[in-house]
Every structure is written in structure tokens, then in C-alpha cells.
Amino acid sequence: MGVEEAALEAEVLLRHALGLERAQFYARLSEEISPDGRTAFEALLARRLRREPAAYIIGRREFYGLELEVTSAAPIPRPETELLVEEALAQARRLQSTCPEPHIVDVGTGCGAIALALAMRLPAARVTAIDTSQAALDLARRNAARLGLSERVRFALGDLLSPLEEAADIVVANLPYVPSGEWERLPPEIRCHEPRAALDGGPDGLRLIARLLDEAPAHVRSPGALVLEIGYDQGAAVAALAHKAFPGSAIAVKQDLASLDRAVLIET
């Protein structure tokens, strides 16, 4: 299995080795690389050839217009997850007349991508970011500090919704949903480098999602909303769990830009 977008990733690694932004890199494209620059680039390239993700090698990843620090303490934010931010923003607009300062909870925050994107775009919101990993929360706190959002986001260590001190208006969750039996078939970039506990969702991939839906009715206000990321083939199963947890609520399966099921939306 080859490395996808190898040319683009090689450019990213070379720019990182040389300490150049993209505009600077292209402005100096005709210059010869120094011996030190070549040595640094070859070291980064060797890591990538061992299938370490480029985002971990350079230590950052862009998500919803924010540059985030990323480490192996948390999964790498993916473009598909930006759909959760869009849906949460839409729900904040829906609730604005009755809830101008919503309490938004990001369950399984990882590096803080979703929580920080929402805090940046909803200055009136109160955001709580929860994770079971102290290392992930430390990473998310660093990202919040660099983005000037430390006073806007509360970070809490704990399982699912258990750390909540008050009910949520909107819950957003990108929980593990990869079925355990599929783990060994994943690309080595994921299987060998990203934290399995943050991605492996048990035998059917829904272990934590089902638990969250069991807990959620006691923690989510009405009117309110939940937005849950899912696997491409889990829409019907998660929608059924949602109907059981929130009977009578509006429930929809949302697709990403590739027209794959990517999220379940519950309007309480």
C-alpha cells in the first residue's frame, strides 16, 4: 500500500525541514537546498516512509480554519469531522431565540478541534470539552491557549457525560466507532500511530455511542441537540438507538462531501 498524495506530503515535509511557509518556499524554489536542509528533510522523509503520519511528524494540522498542535496523544482531526462543526453551528442558530448563550459539550475532544472551532465561532457560547485521556486534554489546553480560548473552554477529565456540572444545550461527539474486527485492516498510519482507545468502538463500533445515548436524556435540555459522528455504514443502527433514547425527537442521518453517512443529528 503506497502513501496517498505523496508529492504533496513531500512538499509539506520539505517546507517543515527548511522552516518555510508556503509562499516563502515557492519564492525560493529555484535555490539549492543546503546540506543541513537536505539532512533534515531526509530524516523526516524516513519517518514518513515508516508510515508515521505527516501531521504527527510536523506536529500540526489545520481544522476548520484553525491550526492545531497534534501529537500521538489524540487522533488527527479529519476534514469529514468538520461536518459536526457545521451541524452544531446550525443548531446554535436554531436555538438562538430561546438560548442565546448555549452550553455546548464536546465529548471525546482529543486535541480540542471541535470544541475550539465552536468556541471561536460562537463567542457567546460556554463550551465544555471532555476526554478520558489526560494527555489529550493537556494537548487540547495547549491549543486553546495558543488560540486565546483558554477562558472560553472548560476542560474536564472523565467518562462521557459524567463530568458535567450542568445540563448541555448541544452535545457534539466524535467517539470511537471503528469495529474492533476492522482494526488490523486499517492503514499503518492509523493502526500503528494513532491511539487505538480513541478509535476502536468495540465489536460493532457502537459501544461508546450506545452508552452516550443511554446517558444523554438526563443531561441534554429540551429544546436541544446532539450531533454524533458515525461510520459510513452505521447510520441506520445509530438512528435506531437515537429513536429509543429520544422517542418523538427529530432524528436525521447527515452525509459528508463524499455522500457517505457521517453524522446523526438529534433535535430534542
Residue that is written with C-alpha cell 436524556 in the block: 217
Q: Could you tell me if 81 and 33 lie in one domain? A: no
Q: Render pLDDT for 121-157 as a digit per residue (tens, 0 to 9).
A: 999 999 999 999 999 999 999 999 999 999 999 999 9
Of 200, 198, 206, 207, the residue nearest 185 (C-alpha): 200
Domain limit, last residue, from 14, 34, 50:
50
Calculate the CA 117 to chain-centre distance: 10
Distance from C-alpha of 98 to C-alpha of 223, rounded to nearest angstrom: 9
Please indicate, yes or no, whether residues 32 and 94 belong to a single structural domain of this protein.
Answer: no
Q: Is residue 244 part of a domain?
A: yes
Pair 44, 147 in one domain: no
Q: How many CB atoms lie within 10 A of CB 23?
A: 8
Q: Is residue 56 part of a domain?
A: no
Both 32 and 115 in one domain: the answer is: no
- Ranges in the chain, pLDDT < 70: 1-4
Q: Is residue 41 located within the same domain as residue 91?
A: no
Residue 63 inside a domain? The answer is no
Residue 59 lies in a domain: no
Predicted local distance difference test score (pLDDT) of residue 173? 98
Give domain status of residue 149, yes or no. Answer: yes
Q: What is the CATH number of the domain that holds 110?
A: 3.40.50.150
Q: Where are the alpha helices (DSSP H) in the chain?
A: 6-18, 22-27, 35-49, 54-58, 82-94, 113-121, 134-146, 188-191, 207-215, 235-245
d(CA 227, CA 83): 9
How much is the pLDDT for 174?
98
Report yes or no on 69 lying in a domain. no
- 85/27 same-domain check: no
DSSP assignments along 103-153, one per residue:
EEEEES-TTTHHHHHHHHH-TT-EEEEEES-HHHHHHHHHHHHHTT-TTTE
Tell me: do 150 and 255 sit in the same domain: yes
pLDDT of residue 1: 45
Residues 129 and 253 in one domain: yes
Q: Tell whether 26 is covered by a domain.
A: yes
Query: How many structural domains comprise the chain?
Result: 2
Residues 38 and 94 both lie in one domain: no
Residue 68 lies in a domain: no
On average, the pLDDT of the chain sits at 95
Within this chain, do residues 187 and 132 fall inside the same structural domain, yes or no?
A: yes
Residue 252 and residue 266: Cα distance in Å, rounded? 7
Query: Quick one: pLDDT at residue 2?
Result: 61
Domain that holds residue 98: 75-267
Both 43 and 81 in a single domain? no
**DSSP readout, 7-34?**
HHHHHHHHHHHHT--HHHHHHTTTSPPP
Are both 238 and 193 inside the same structural domain?
Answer: yes
How many C-beta atoms surround the C-beta of residue 83 within 10 A? 18
